[in-house]
Amino acid sequence: SQQGEEDPQALSIQEGENATMNCSYKTSINNLQWYRQNSGRGLVHLILIRSNEREKHSGRLRVTLDTSKKSSSLLITASRAADTASYFCATGSGYSTLTFGKGTMLLVSP
């Protein structure tokens, strides 16, 4: 069964707004990663946060991790139309093994 569950399943916003996606998982993890997938393409790695970290930033991305609640959030600030994609969280519990959630489809309208 899938480890991560993203919420919401779909999100539609205007350019310039912030987009927040959440991910919940069930078992212990070593790290949690967020990926982006444009329609019909492969996955692009966005950010990795380790189980002993609480927050991480990368450009317009901000990721938080709450291991007590087994949840993570991805915030994209000042969104752009080019951010339109599906976003997946993936949890790692062993060397390199990843389990993906169902993803959030983000639509950013100009």
Partner 1 sequence: GAVVSQHPSWVICKSGTSVKIECRSLDFQATTMFWYRQFPKQSLMLMATSNEGSKATHEQGVEKDKFLINHASLTLSTLTVTSAHPEDSSFYICSAIGQTQETQYFGPGTRLLVL
- Which of 1, 68 has the CB closer to partner 1? 1
Whether the link from the prior residue into 110 is cis, omega within 30° of 0, is no
Q: Which is nearer to partner 1, 44 or 78 (CB)?
A: 44
- Look up residue 68 and give its DSSP letter: T
Comparing CB distances to partner 1, the nearer of 64 and 99 is 99
Bridge partners, 24 (sequence order): 5, 71
CB of 28 to partner 1, least distance (A): 17
Compare residues 4 and 76 and give the one whose CB is closer to partner 1: 4
Distance in angstroms (rounded) separating the CA atoms of residues 91 and 28: 9
Cβ 42 to partner 1, closest distance in Å?
Answer: 4
Positions touching partner 1 (CB under 8 A) are: 2, 31, 33, 35, 40-45, 48, 88, 96-103, 105
CB of 58 to partner 1, least distance (A): 13
DSSP string, 10-62: EEEEETTS-EEEEEE--S--SEEEEEEE-TTS-EEEEEEEETT--EEEETTEE
